[in-house]
Amino acid sequence: MEQLIETLRTQRDLSDEELTALITRESDDKDLFAAADAVRREHYGTDVFLRGLIEFTNVCQNDCYYCGIRKSNAQAQRYRLTQEQILHSCENGYRMGFRTFVLQGGEDPRNTDAWVCSMVDKIKTAHPDCAVTLSIGEQSRASYQAYFDAGADRYLLRHETASDAHYRRLHPEEMSLVNRKRCLFDLKDIGYQVGAGFMVGSPWQTPKELVADLRFLQELQPDMIGIGPFIPHHETPFADKQSGTLELTLRMLSILRLLFPYVLLPATTALGTISPIGRELGLKAGANVMMPNLTPTDARKHYDLYDNKICMDEEAAKCRLCQEGRVRSVGYQIVSDRGDVRR
C-alpha cells in the first residue's frame, strides 16, 4: 500500500483496481492521512477557511429518499427566512470574521430568479469583500447565469453518486443523474467556483460506485468537493439503513486530497455527528474548510437533513469559538479571508 499511496501522491491517479484496493484496505490509514496532510500543507499550509452557513429554507419540491426535508415528510416543520433575516445573519457573521457566506436551502418555489438575485446583490453590496456561495439545487442554465451576473461567486451541488443505476435507487424517477451533471458543467462553464461531492456509505454503495465518483470528479475538476457519511433520517424510506462509517469517510477525504491537491475540502457537520472528534480527524486527513452555522437557532433545528445533527441549538458566536478551538487543537489555524481555491 505504501507504493500505491506514493504513486497517488506523485502521479495524482491510480488505476480502477488500485483505487479499489486503497478504498478497501484493512490496514491502518496513518500513512494515507500523513501523505494527504503533507499535500494540503504544500498548497494551503495550516490555513483552515470558514464558511458561514445560512440554511434559509427547508421547503423542497424534491423527494430524495435519504433526505429529512424531502417533500413527503409531513412531520417537517417548514420555514423560510426573509431577506432581512438573511442579511442580519450575514452581518453577525461578518463581525465574527466570516468572509464567505453559504446560502443553502431546498429547491423552494419561493426562490425565483428575481428573489435570489436580489438577495445576492444585497449581500454583495453590504459586504463587497465577501464571497457568496449558493447551494439551492438543480436550476436552468439561465437561472445560474442570472445568479452569477448578480454577484454569486460559488455554487455547491453534490452529485451524490456518479452511477446512474445507484442514483435511481436514491432518488425518485423524475430526478436524473444526467440533469445533475448538466447543472455542474453549466455552472463550471459560466465561471463559478464549483463544488460537487457524494455521500459515503449510502445504501447499495460499493467500492465500484466510489471509484465512479472519483472518475467523475476527475472529469469535472471542481474547486470544492464535499463528502460526508450517509446518516439516516427517521422520516425517510432509508430510516432503517446503516450509517456510513467514520473510517471510510476519512479514507476517502485523504484519497481526494491526493487526487486533487488544490481542492477546497470541508470537514463536514456529518463527520462531527458520527464522532465527537470527526471534524478534527477530517482536518488531519486532508480537509481545509469548516462551515459554522449562522442560521438563527429557532430555524436551524428544522433544517433536519439527518438524525442527531449536531450544533442545532448553539448560538453562532459560540459555534465559531468552538470550531476555532477544535482547529487549533490539531495544529491548524483559522484565517479570516474568502478562502478562494489555489490551483
Q: Is residue 230 part of a domain?
A: yes
C-alpha cell at 18: 488500485
| Percentage of residues of the chain with pLDDT beyond 90 | 94
| Predicted confidence (pLDDT) at residue 240 exceeds the cutoff of 90 | yes
pLDDT number for residue 321: 84
What does each C-alpha distance from 3 to 7, 32, 156, 215 come to in angstroms? 6, 11, 34, 21
CA 286 to chain centre: 15
Measure the CA–CA gap between 1 and 101, rounded to whole angstroms.
40
Measure the CA–CA gap between 153 and 82, rounded to whole angstroms.
21
pLDDT number for residue 104: 98
CB 156 within 8 A of CB 195: yes
CATH number for the domain including 59?
Answer: 3.20.20.70
| Predicted confidence (pLDDT) at residue 316 exceeds the cutoff of 80 | no
Rounded to the nearest 5 degrees, what angle is found at the Cα of 306, between the Cα atoms of 51 and 133? 25
Mean pLDDT of all residues belonging to the chain: 96
For residue 142, give the amino acid letter: A
| Predicted confidence (pLDDT) at residue 318 exceeds the cutoff of 90 | no
CB 250 within 8 A of CB 285: yes
C-alpha cell at 326: 477544535
Q: Is residue 343 part of a domain?
A: no
Phi-psi domain of 92 (left: phi exceeds 0; alpha: psi -120 through 50; beta: other): alpha
Measure the CA–CA gap between 29 and 15, rounded to whole angstroms.
20
pTM of the model: 0.97
Q: Is residue 291 part of a domain?
A: yes
Q: Is 240 exposed, middle or buried (0-12, 13-18, 19+ CB in 10 A)?
A: exposed
- How many CB atoms are closer than 10 A to CB 233? 23
Which tens digit of pLDDT belongs to each residue from 144-191? 999 999 999 999 999 999 999 999 999 999 999 999 999 999 999 999
Measure the CA–CA gap between 290 and 250, rounded to whole angstroms.
15
| Predicted confidence (pLDDT) at residue 65 exceeds the cutoff of 90 | yes
Number of domains in the chain: 1
What does each C-alpha distance from 173 to 96, 164, 209 come to in angstroms? 43, 11, 19
Q: Which domain holds residue 304?
A: 2-335
- b/e 194-228 (16+ beta carbons within 10 angstroms → b): bbbbbbbbbbebeeebbbbbbebbeebebbbbbbb
Q: Is residue 322 part of a domain?
A: yes
pLDDT number for residue 167: 98
C-alpha cell at 126: 453590504
Q: Is residue 164 part of a domain?
A: yes
| Predicted confidence (pLDDT) at residue 319 exceeds the cutoff of 90 | no
Q: What is the average per-residue pLDDT within 226-235?
A: 98
Q: Is residue 302 part of a domain?
A: yes
pLDDT number for residue 322: 87
CB 34 within 8 A of CB 284: no
pLDDT number for residue 1: 85
Q: Is residue 342 part of a domain?
A: no
Q: Which of 23-27, 103-107, 250-254, 285-289 has the lowest mean pLDDT?
A: 23-27
Measure the CA–CA gap between 289 and 292, rounded to whole angstroms.
10
Q: What is the average per-residue pLDDT within 267-274?
A: 95
Q: Is residue 105 part of a domain?
A: yes
| Predicted confidence (pLDDT) at residue 339 exceeds the cutoff of 90 | yes
pLDDT number for residue 312: 83
Which tens digit of pLDDT belongs to each residue from 121-146? 999 999 999 999 999 999 999 999 99
